[in-house]
Amino acid sequence: MNIAEYLTSTTKTLTYFGIGSCPHCNDSEELDEKKDQLIPVFLREYMSRVDSTKTYRIVHFDLAFEQNLPFIMKYFSMQRYNFLYKGLTEEGAHRWISNGNGGSSGSSGTNIEVLIFPRFYYHEDPADSIILEKLCAHVVQTEEPQQLIVQEYTGRELSLIGKQMYERSPIPTLHLDRVLFDFTYGLGCSCSTNMTRYRPFLDDKGNFRNLLLLSDHRALSLAGIDPAIDRIISQEYINNYKKILNDYHVDYRRRCRGEPVLFKSPYYDSETPPEAIMDILQQLLTPLFKTLKSLNKIVAGGQRQFNEHFENYIEYDVYKWQNDMDKLIQLEYNPLKTP
C-alpha cells in the first residue's frame, strides 16, 4: 500500500498535514506553543472538545526528522494523549496512536494517529503531488464529513497549490468547506511562524472560511464579520492589484521600446502592441479596484485618478504613471501583525 492509498483508506474527522515541520530544537522546554508545529495550539483546542466519535490524523514530512528522532520520541511520550509508538509502517513513517484513555484533562475520547515521514515532500514530484490530490478528493467525497488542513513551514506560500487543488476537486463546493491550504492565509509560512497567532476561520457550521479561494461576491459578503478576516481579504486583493500592475506595465514599457515581453500572460505576447497591453491592464485592474474600493482601501479621490490615468496614460512619464497607480491603494496596517 502506498502513502496515498493508506491516507485514503479510512475517514478522519480532521487531518493535519505538515510539511517542513520538524522542530529546530532538541529540548522540550524550548518547544513552547509559539514554536510547536507538531501539534499546534489550534489543533489542541480543536481536539479538546471531548467526543469519542471524533478521530484525528497528524501527518508530517521533513527530512530533519531523521536526525531529530530521539527528541521526537521524547516529545510524543510527554504528551497528554497517551501516545503509543507503533514502529515504522511499510510506507516509511514512524507511527504513534492514542486511544484517549489517559484520564488527564482533555485526553479522554481523543483518538489520534500520528505519522512522521523522515523525508521531504516535493509538490513538483508527481509521486508526492498525487498524495495530496487523492487526499483532497477523498475528503470531499466521503458521506461522513471530514476536514483537511495543509500547512508548510519552509517559506513557500501555499495559495497557488491550494488553488490548483481546488480547481481539480471533484466537488468544489465541498472543497471550500472541508479543505484548507494554509491556516495563516499567506501570512506565516516560515519555520519561525508564531503558532499562537493563527487559527483557521470557521463559519457557524464549523466549515472552513477559504478566504483566498472566494469569488469577489463571497469575499465581500464576509467583510465586517471579523477585523482579521477583513485584513486578509484586503491584503489578497492588494497583492493581486500590485502584481498585475507591475508585471503588465513592465511589459507595456518593453513593448514601447520594441523589446520582447518579460512576463508570461495568456492575453498577449512579444508581438502585441503596447496600447493593447494597456487595454488589457485596464480590464484586469478595474474589477480589483472596484472591490478594493468596497473594502475602503482606495485613497480619497482614487476613482477619479484611476479613470484619468487610464484615459491619458500616453501623456505621462511611464514611471510616474505606475507610481501614481500604486499609490491609489491605502495601506493602513502591516499584514504580518494580524492576530
Which helix (H) or strand (E) segment holds residue 76: the answer is helix 69-77
Parallel, antiparallel or unpaired: strands 111-117 and 94-98: antiparallel
Q: pLDDT tens-digit profile of 69-88?
A: 999 999 999 888 889 999 99
Neighbour-count burial for 83-100, b at 16+ CB within 10 Å, e otherwise: beeeeeeeeebbbbebeb
Strands 14-19 and 55-61: parallel
How far apart (Å, rounded) are the C-alpha atoms in residues 161 and 167?
10
pLDDT confidence band for 30 (50 / 70 / 90): confident
pLDDT of 106: 41
User: Residues 97-150: pLDDT tens digits?
Assistant: 987 544 344 444 569 999 999 999 999 999 999 999 999 999 999 999 999 999
Which sign, positive or negative, has the C-alpha torsion 121, 123, 126, 130?
Answer: positive
Report residue 99 as a C-alpha cell. 486511544
**More confident site: 92 or 336:** 92
Distance of CA 134 to the CA centre of its chain: 18
What confidence category does residue 337 fall into, taking pLDDT thresholds of 50, 70 and 90? Answer: very low
pLDDT at 23 over 80: yes
- Whether 83 and 97 have beta carbons less than 8 Å apart is answered as yes
CA–CA gap between residue 233 and residue 292 (Å, rounded): 9
Q: Please give the mean pLDDT across all residues of the chain.
A: 89
pLDDT of res. 108: 42
pLDDT digits (tens, 9 = 90+) for 290-319: 989 988 899 999 999 999 999 999 999 999
Give me the residues paired with residue 59 across strands: 17, 115
Q: What's the pLDDT at 103?
A: 38
Mean pLDDT for the stretch of residues 175-191: 88
Listing DSSP states for 146-189 in one string gives: -EEEEEE-SS---HHHHHHHHHH-SSHHHHHHHEEE-TTTTS--
% of the chain at pLDDT higher than 90: 67
Residues 132 and 220: their CA atoms lie apart, in Å, by 30
> 327: which 3 cell numbers?
499609490
Long-range contacts of 29-32 (CB under 8 A, 24+ apart): 31/75
Q: Is the pLDDT of residue 338 over 60?
A: no
**Banded pLDDT at 225 (limits 50, 70, 90):** confident
pLDDT at 66: 92
* Close Cβ partners of 52 (under 8 Å, ≥ 6 residues apart): 100, 109, 111
Query: Cα–Cα distance between 202 and 176 in angstroms, integer?
Result: 11
Summarised one tens digit per residue, pLDDT across range 251-289 is 999 999 999 999 989 999 999 999 999 999 999 999 999
Quickly count: other Cβ atoms within 10 Å of residue 162's Cβ: 22
Distance CA 124, CA 131 (A): 12
The C-alpha cell of 143 is what? 458521506
Angle of CA points 117, 154, 113, to nearest 5°: 30
State the DSSP H helix or E strand holding residue 218, giving kind and residue range, or none if neither.
Answer: helix 216-221
- Going by pLDDT thresholds of 50, 70 and 90, the confidence category of residue 187 is confident
